[in-house]
């Protein structure tokens, strides 16, 4: 084998998966048809559980430029309607405003530090698979050649060549009604007061919060560390030629119903001026075909409203990484790799659902305005805000159920002694936390490869956490049933090996 896993695509999802595989001891090769990393502005940050997940891999501080744990945001939007997240006792919505260009830069740095091989300018053109592996045909700077690996993963975007070559259907809908325009643009300082955009004849616009009018959508992106931007969404017919600053100005005025003078921004940084017509909501019919798997946009595409894309794709990668590594190394319990699709495809379905719902809420028309009025009343109730917040962040995910309510859910950000859980998960290994006075669970039969941490603490007394941060087992007390439950969970998720117990 030339590699244990070949990953097609060196975007955020492919790079994250490569790092997860290396942390688990597997050798991947990442292939990317582009000769260099793209500098085209795309996503503007990360939203949801993915922020905490990156903290658990030691990447949050690199990306944020701050120290310490991430903190939830006090406010967000759903369907261009404000969400009062400060009303919640348990706010699950985390934001990290970092451009995708920087995210890819940091993820590439991390992958290279771990010894990942990245081949740029190498394009997937075909593959065959058999019972033992996949033979991949490539086109590179020196011509065509082949590589052999145990598995191939497509992380090559919504137009995935991997998915098409695997013959995996991509059903869904295409909506060609909305025209989105985004451009580097600023407003005169006279329109800004106390961090808010105040538009005569329209009203106050907070930064980064979608504004829906009967004519369209408007967003003022007042970035502090890069060029500001204006985005609009309309239901019109765009011209055929390339988008111009004048077109962005005209669209802004139409949406707002008043004239807001835009000015060319000053300062350094990549300038953008792009127009997108329509969009797709699609979900792959399967995330796996034999030894070929899909992650990220190769498996699902949807509206960008609310920014769920990287939250979904990067967590695909973290869910798949440890399972695929165990399969490659021959230590996976039966059916472990099948749980990737079983767990992640329903999450993709919910993201497609909620982004379609948000798109319906921003559409034009008196009926939509009436629906927004009613929906706005619902959002005065903290219980409804909690449900929406859990939905858009991914905090409502429960992969499976168990005797304890935490089983199948994201492990809480607890302190283990004087150490944050996030710091204990940097190695991406399974983790057994035992807070019992006599370390009774740590003394159980624990497979090699599962880290065991003992300390003193309160309920839950013990947790078994998968490498992707989800709880495999939990206990509030020490008893025969709890000991048996731990043994069952270890057998279900981690193949028993020669027994060791490393404590801290």
448-476 residue pLDDT tens: 889 999 998 777 899 999 999 999 999 99
CA pseudo-torsion sign 157, 160, 166, 167: positive
* Residue intervals in the chain for CATH 3.40.30.120: 409-493
Q: What is the pLDDT of residue 119?
A: 97
User: What is the pLDDT confidence band of residue 444, given thresholds at 50, 70 and 90?
Assistant: confident
CA distance 456 to 434: 8
Distance of CA 55 to the CA centre of its chain: 13
Q: What is the pLDDT of residue 299?
A: 98
Angle value at C-alpha 54, between 270 and 62, nearest 5 degrees: 50
235 in Cβ contact with 255 (< 8 Å): no
Residues 191-246: tens digit of each pLDDT: 999 999 999 999 999 999 899 999 999 999 998 878 899 999 998 888 889 999 99
Q: Does CATH number 1.10.1040.10 belong to domain 1-44+99-170+284-348?
A: no
Q: What is the pLDDT of residue 289?
A: 98
Please state which of the ranges 237-246, 334-343, 425-434 shows the lowest mean pLDDT: 237-246
Q: Is the peptide bond before 460 cis (omega within 30 degrees of 0)?
A: yes
Higher pLDDT pick, 444 / 454: 454
CA distance 100 to 46: 9
183 in Cβ contact with 230 (< 8 Å): yes
* Residue intervals in the chain for CATH 3.30.70.2450: 175-279
Among the listed residues 256, 247, 186, the one whose alpha carbon sits nearest the alpha carbon of residue 221: 186
The DSSP secondary structure of 247-260, one letter per residue, reads HHHHHHHHHHSS--
Ordered alpha helix ranges (H), 204-337: 245-256, 309-329
> What kind of fold does domain 409-493 have according to CATH?
Glutaredoxin (3.40.30)
Q: What percent of the chain has pLDDT over 90?
A: 81
CA distance 386 to 394: 12
User: What is the pLDDT confidence band of residue 41, given thresholds at 50, 70 and 90?
Assistant: low
Q: Domain 175-279 carries which CATH code?
A: 3.30.70.2450
């Amino acid at each position: 084998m030339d590699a244990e896993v070949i990953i097609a695509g060196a975007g955020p999802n492919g790079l994250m998966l490569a790092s997860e595989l290396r942390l688990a001891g597997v050798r991947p090769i990442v292939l990317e048809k582009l000769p260099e990393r793209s500098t085209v502005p795309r996503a503007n940050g990360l939203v949801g559980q993915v922020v905490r997940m990156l903290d658990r891999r030691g990447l949050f501080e690199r990306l944020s430029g701050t120290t310490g744990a991430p903190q939830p945001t006090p406010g967000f939007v759903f369907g261009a309607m404000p969400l009062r997240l400060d009303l919640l006792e348990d706010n699950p919505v985390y934001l990290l405003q970092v451009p995708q260009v920087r995210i890819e830069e940091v993820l590439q740095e991390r992958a290279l530090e771990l010894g990942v091989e990245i081949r740029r300018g190498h394009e997937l053109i075909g593959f065959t698979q058999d019972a033992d592996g996949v033979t991949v045909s490539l086109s590179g700077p020196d011509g065509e050649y082949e590589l052999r690996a145990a598995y191939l993963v497509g992380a090559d975007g919504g137009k995935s060549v991997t998915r098409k070559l695997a013959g995996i259907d991509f059903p869904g809908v295409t909506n060609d009604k909305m025209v989105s325009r985004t451009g580097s643009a600023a407003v005169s300082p006279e329109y800004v007061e106390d961090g808010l955009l105040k538009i005569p004849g329209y009203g106050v616009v907070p930064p980064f919060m979608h504004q829906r009018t009967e004519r369209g959508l408007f967003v003022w992106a007042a970035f502090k560390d890069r060029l500001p931007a204006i985005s609009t969404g309309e239901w019109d017919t765009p011209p055929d030629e390339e988008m111009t600053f004048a077109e962005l100005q005209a669209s802004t005025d139409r949406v707002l119903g008043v004239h807001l003078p835009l000015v060319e921004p000053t300062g350094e940084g990549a300038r953008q001026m792009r127009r997108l017509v329509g969009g797709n909501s699609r979900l792959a019919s399967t995330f796996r075909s034999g030894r070929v798997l899909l992650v990220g946009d190769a498996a699902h595409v949807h509206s960008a409203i609310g920014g769920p894309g990287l939250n979904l794709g990067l967590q695909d990668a973290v869910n798949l990484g440890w399972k695929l590594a165990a399969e490659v190394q021959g230590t996976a319990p039966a059916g472990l790799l099948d749980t990737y699709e079983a767990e992640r495809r329903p999450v993709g379905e919910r993201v497609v659902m909620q982004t379609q719902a948000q798109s319906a809420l921003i559409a034009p028309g008196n009926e939509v305005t009436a629906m927004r009025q009613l929906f706005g009343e619902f959002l005065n109730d903290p219980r409804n805000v909690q449900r929406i917040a859990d939905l858009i962040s991914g905090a409502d995910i429960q992969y499976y159920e168990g005797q304890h309510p935490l089983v199948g859910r994201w492990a809480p950000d607890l302190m283990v002694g004087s150490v944050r859980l996030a710091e204990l998960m940097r190695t991406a290994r399974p983790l057994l936390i035992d807070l019992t006075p006599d370390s009774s669970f740590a003394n159980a039969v624990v497979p090699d490869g599962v880290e065991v941490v003992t300390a003193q603490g309160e309920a839950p007394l013990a947790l078994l956490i998968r490498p992707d941060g989800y709880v495999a087992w939990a206990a509030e007390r020490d008893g025969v049933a709890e000991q048996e439950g731990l043994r069952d969970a270890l057998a279900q998720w981690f193949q028993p090996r020669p027994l060791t117990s490393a404590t801290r």
